[in-house]
Amino acid sequence: KAGVTQTPRYLIKTRGQQVTLSCSPISGHRSVSWYQQTPGQGLQFLFEYFSETQRNKGNFPGRFSGRQFSNSRSEMNVSTLELGDSALYLCASSSYRDSETQYFGPGTRLLVL
Q: Pick between residue 35 and residue 64 the one whose CB is nearest to other proteins.
A: 35
Q: What is the sign of the dihedral through the CA atoms of 32, 68, 42 and 110?
A: positive
Given the rule CB under 8 A, which of 19-27, 62-70, 72-80, 98-106 is the region that contacts other proteins?
98-106
Q: Which of 30, 58, 65, 73 binds other proteins (CB under 8 A)?
A: 58
Q: Pick between residue 70 and residue 100 the one whose CB is nearest to other proteins.
A: 100
Q: Which of 21, 26, 33, 85 binds other proteins (CB under 8 A)?
A: 33
66 in Cβ contact with 75 (< 8 Å):
yes
Q: SS3 for 38?
A: strand
Q: Is 55 in the site for other proteins (CB under 8 A)?
A: yes
Residues with Cβ within 8 Å of 92's Cβ and at least 6 positions away in sequence, in order, are 4, 32, 33, 34, 35, 102, 103, 104, 105
Binding site for other proteins (CB under 8 A): 33, 35, 42-45, 48, 55-56, 58, 90, 92, 100-107
